[in-house]
């Protein structure tokens, strides 16, 4: 089974992110959930984004990279929204990466390296009318068109953090399908 490093979104390591990690664990995977906010969680995306702006996106990314240093290199890197930053950087630049699961976001590949690593599988998941994902859908489409091992899944609706069961934006049907697809992906890593 797979070793997974799962990074949380801008509201922090919420009970919904932990519940998602537990679902992956129940499927037999080892899942690490580094807390990039030192225990802080936020009631809204706006509050969490304000905190991220204070820290800086570069600092968040580097916190994720530092957290992964103590973990096995042979891992699948996953992230919810903001957590895609360290997940994608590690998948693209850390030797031994087995894959990437990018939930609710996708960063242009050129942000971290010249090209996506050959043979490294990746899935991108987002809502088709999510205004936050709309900013990233071009990068996701480019990744899928340039990489034979890339898949993008679009779900109906406009909720951003739909896979986090602890938030009002949770969409149980879409989250269940996302989880099933992620577990299938991990089963082959």
Phi, psi of 136 (to 5 degrees): -110, -10
**Domain 3-187: top CATH class:** alpha beta
How many CA atoms lie within 13 Å of 45's alpha carbon, on the beta-carbon side? 14
Of residues 167, 186, 136, 184, the one with CA closest to residue 44: 167
- Percentage, residues of the chain above pLDDT 90: 97
For the stretch 11-36, pLDDT in tens is: 999 999 999 999 999 999 999 999 99
Phi, psi of 169 (to 5 degrees): -80, -5
Write down the pLDDT at residue 78: 98
Q: pTM of this prediction?
A: 0.97
Average pLDDT in the chain: 97
pLDDT range class, residue 114, cuts 50, 70, 90: confident
* Contact in structure between 143 and 109 (CB atoms under 8 Å): yes
* Contact in structure between 185 and 77 (CB atoms under 8 Å): no
| Complete edge-to-edge strand list for the sheet that includes strand 150-155 | 30-32, 3-7, 76-80, 99-103, 122-127, 150-155
Q: Is the pLDDT of residue 188 over 90?
A: no
pLDDT range class, residue 43, cuts 50, 70, 90: very high
Structure-block tokens of residue 179: 């989880």
- Summarize the confidence of residues 156-175 as an average pLDDT: 98
Q: Is the pLDDT of residue 107 over 80?
A: yes
């Amino acid at each position: 089974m797979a070793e997974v490093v799962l990074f949380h979104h801008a509201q922090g390591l919420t009970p919904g992110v932990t519940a998602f990690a537990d679902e992956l664990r129940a499927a037999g995977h080892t899942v690490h959930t580094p807390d990039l906010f030192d225990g802080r969680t936020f009631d809204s995306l706006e509050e969490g984004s304000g905190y991220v702006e204070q820290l800086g996106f570069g600092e968040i990314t580097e916190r994720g990279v530092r957290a992964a240093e103590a973990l096995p290199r042979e891992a699948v890197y996953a992230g919810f929204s903001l957590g895609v930053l360290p997940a994608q950087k590690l998948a693209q630049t850390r030797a031994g990466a087995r894959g990437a699961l990018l939930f609710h976001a996708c960063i242009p590949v050129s942000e971290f390296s010249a090209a996506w690593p050959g043979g490294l599988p990746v899935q991108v998941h987002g809502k088709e009318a999510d205004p936050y994902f709309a900013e990233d859908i071009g990068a996701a489409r480019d990744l899928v068109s340039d990489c034979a091992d890339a898949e993008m899944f679009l779900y109906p609706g406009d909720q951003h953090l739909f896979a986090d069961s602890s938030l009002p934006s949770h969409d149980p049907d879409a989250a269940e399908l996302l989880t099933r697809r992620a577990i299938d992906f991990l089963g082959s890593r």
